[in-house]
Amino acid sequence: MKKFEGYMRGINLGGWLSQCAEYSEKHYSSFITESDIKTISEWGLDHVRLPIDYNVIEDEDGLPLGNGYKHIDDCVEWCEKYGLNLILDLHKTKGFSFNNNPEDNVMFDSPELQERFTSLWINIASRYGKRSNIAFELLNEIVEKDSSRWNALVSKTISEIRTFAPDTKIIIGGIQWNSVHTLALLDIPEDKNIVYNFHFYEPFIFTHQLAPWQPLLVDKTIRYPGNMEEYRKVSKEISCFGSGLYNTETMGAGFMEKLIAEAVEAAANANVPLYCGEYGVIDRAEISDTAIWFEDIHSVFEKYDIARAAWTYKGIDFGISGEHYSQQISRIIQSL
């Protein structure tokens, strides 16, 4: 399988220009600074993935916001200074959000909003398309159930981007929240600079335990690797989050490898590199278990030459630079 050279070991900058505690200049100017990029470089990583919400860089009429783009420019400059590559990930666009609220997801029923999505990418590509250290990720975690509508929008948008960025790597994920199970539904690309993307948070019962935004898990705790029967029991109790639990008899790297095999096969069939744009463990899990989880997923990534970016550097419940992770931070960094 092809390798995504220059993007093999990275981390997300979630919560800075996307999923913000507050969308304000005060937040943008302080949440991530040059010193953070320097730290990431010193960890030995080769890139950062920068999630961006559309409202940071364009107004409600779709006009560019210079102040928003300035923060992307700062990140570009810092990454160049410290030898890091950069992925610009459109995390949210007008009429679409991965949270799956019906009122937030009308783009695929609206030609006008699809046109606005493409126009936003034209703006981004015209600004950054000539930079060799930048890749583009079209849209985060598609919740659409119809792969044909996503494939059509991908094809149109890539065609427009190529006018301004003929050689830039473009990252696309499958439907149903970048599931490993849906990469095979993507159209085989004719473009030689496409990368397939999936996200991995399995076993979800472990990585999202006690998450306040997950009502089924808000009072659930579980150890890793623990006992597979316990995972099956909890999954059955809540009638959810059982993906892959019957593929193997023990929890661990073998469980992960069985699930990820679908993504590996899809990328190999399409002759494209494979990228895991998000993976991580909530800061409510036992930290020693979290370190083991990172070591296990790292072993699978290394076995199949899968590029990746951990979720996330700072804050928003998964930030590995936070106090919760401090006792195991060196071990975790080695497993990124």
In sequence order, what DSSP letters do the residues of 220-237 get, joined into one string?
Answer: ----SS--HHHHHHHHHH
CB 65 within 8 A of CB 27: no
Predicted pLDDT at 100 = 73
DSSP 8-class letter at 189: P
From the list 137, 202, 262, 278, the catalytic residue is 278
Name residue, tokens 């301004």: 164
Report CA 164 to chain centroid distance, whole Å. Answer: 24
Predicted pLDDT at 104 = 77
The two tokens of residue 55 are: 């409202």
The two tokens of residue 311 are: 């979720």
In a domain, 245, yes or no: no
Predicted pLDDT at 103 = 76
From the list 58, 137, 141, 202, the catalytic residue is 141
User: Helices 66-81 and 111-128: crossing angle, nearest 10°?
Assistant: 40
In a domain, 168, yes or no: yes
At 143, which amino acid appears?
A: V
The CATH number of residue 178's host domain is 3.20.20.80
Q: Which residues of the chain have pLDDT under 70?
A: none
Predicted pLDDT at 149 = 96
**pLDDT mean across residues, the chain:** 97
Active site annotation includes 278: yes
pTM as predicted: 0.97
* Per-residue CA distances from 94 to 49, 107, 326 (Å): 21, 7, 37
* Number of structural domains the chain divides into: 1
In a domain, 98, yes or no: yes
In a domain, 3, yes or no: no
In a domain, 212, yes or no: no
As to burial, measured by CB atoms within 10 angstroms (0-12 exposed, 13-18 middle, 19+ buried), residue 203 is buried
- Choose among 78, 12, 24: nearest CA to 55: 24
Supply the range of the domain harboring residue 259.
10-202+252-334
In a domain, 239, yes or no: no
Predicted pLDDT at 256 = 98
Distance separating alpha carbons of residues 198 and 267, to the nearest angstrom? 10
- Annotate 282-313 with b (16+ C-beta within 10 A) or e (fewer): bbebebebbbbbbebbbebbeeeebbbbbbbb
Predicted pLDDT at 99 = 84
In a domain, 147, yes or no: yes
In a domain, 92, yes or no: yes
The CA R_g of the chain, rounded to the nearest whole Å, is 19
* Per-residue CA distances from 288 to 72, 201, 264, 326 (Å): 35, 17, 29, 11
